[in-house]
């Protein structure tokens, strides 16, 4: 079982997601455990979760003390395979290879940044992986955390059938092939005849070729194959 600990200022945002669909199925089958940690619960006295940045400037910075109070007990629990992820625009772009690596862990800790970011000493004191979804700005780390949680949970053994996973985009270092369903003709557009032929070898060959073409046209950065997606040892 993979245990995911989410450290956030807004735990209520996660409740609808983890109760439904793939994540809900993983929880019901006891393949996944999700624990939400409210940063405000770690405050002492009249402390605030954030403060103004030293040196001046706009915005607020998440303070290190409450985050450390949540992290320290989690890290005191013995785990051989664990990762701590901090969501930040300065992080490495999240990819399928990272989801595969996270799915093989015992514990995944997700820290949701906010405001102008998190006190830099967090990355100095803890072995965090800084992760980003892309070159755009979000209000906080909750949406990236949900994306990583979903992408990781669906890879846990027993959550989705093996055939479904193998045919998904990025599993082979390429985009998925086009898919069609009923009706056969819609507004003059027909389903490719090969898909209606019943010739499984021809269908498989068509799908491979369409996957190759789509990847080359839309994501040439992936066209080299799966090696580009492998994490550095």
Does residue 196 share a domain with residue 132?
no
> Once rounded to an integer, what is the mean pLDDT over residues 29-48?
97
Task: Evaluate if residue 86 carries a pLDDT over 90.
Answer: yes
Does residue 93 share a domain with residue 80?
yes
Does residue 46 share a domain with residue 149?
yes
Does residue 124 share a domain with residue 71?
yes
> Once rounded to an integer, what is the mean pLDDT over residues 195-218?
96
Does residue 93 share a domain with residue 21?
yes
Residue with tokens 């609808």: 16
Are 9 and 39 spatial neighbours (Cβ–Cβ below 8 Å)? yes
Does residue 197 share a domain with residue 92?
no
Does residue 85 share a domain with residue 199?
no
Does residue 48 share a domain with residue 29?
yes
Task: Evaluate if residue 229 carries a pLDDT over 50.
Answer: no
Q: What is the CATH number of the domain that holds 201?
A: 1.10.1270.20
Number of domains the chain is built from: 2
Domain region containing 168: 163-229
**Which among 141, 160, 179 is the end of a domain?**
160
Q: Which residues pair with 5 in a beta bridge?
A: 35, 109
Does residue 34 share a domain with residue 127?
yes
Q: Where are the beta strands (DSSP E) in the chain?
A: 2-8, 32-38, 50-51, 61-62, 82-93, 107-112, 128-132, 185-186, 189-190
DSSP assignment of 70-136:
HHHHHHHS--SSEEEEEEEEEEEEP-HHHHHHHHT-SEEEEEE-BTT-B-THHHHHS-EEEEESSSS
Does residue 135 share a domain with residue 45?
yes
Decide: residue 167, CB within 10 A, 0-12 exposed, 13-18 middle, 19+ buried. middle
> Once rounded to an integer, what is the mean pLDDT over residues 57-80?
97
Distance CA 124, CA 159 (A): 36
Does residue 213 share a domain with residue 104?
no
Task: Evaluate if residue 231 carries a pLDDT over 80.
Answer: no
Q: What is the pLDDT of residue 227?
A: 35
pTM comes to 0.87
């Amino acid at each position: 079982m993979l245990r995911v600990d989410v450290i956030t200022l807004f735990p209520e945002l996660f409740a609808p997601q983890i109760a439904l669909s793939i994540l809900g199925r993983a929880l019901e089958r006891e393949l996944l455990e999700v624990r939400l940690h409210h940063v405000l619960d770690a405050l002492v006295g009249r402390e605030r979760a954030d403060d103004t940045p030293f040196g001046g400037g706009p915005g607020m910075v998440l303070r290190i003390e409450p985050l450390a109070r949540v992290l320290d007990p989690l890290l005191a629990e013995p785990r051989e395979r664990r990762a701590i992820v901090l969501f930040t625009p300065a992080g490495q772009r999240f990819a399928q290879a990272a989801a595969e690596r996270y799915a093989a862990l015992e514990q995944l800790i997700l820290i949701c940044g906010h405001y102008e970011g998190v006190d830099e000493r967090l990355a100095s004191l803890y072995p965090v992986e800084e992760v980003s979804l892309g070159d755009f700005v979000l209000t906080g780390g909750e949406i990236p955390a949900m994306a990583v949680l979903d992408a990781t949970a669906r890879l846990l053994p027993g959550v989705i059938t093996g055939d479904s996973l193998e045919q998904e985009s990025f599993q082979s270092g390429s985009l998925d092939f086009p898919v069609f369903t009923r009706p056969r003709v819609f507004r003059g557009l027909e389903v490719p005849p090969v898909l209606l032929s019943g010739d499984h070898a021809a269908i498989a060959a068509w799908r491979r070729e369409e996957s190759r073409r789509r990847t080359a046209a839309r994501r040439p950065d992936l066209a080299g194959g799966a090696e580009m997606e492998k994490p550095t040892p």
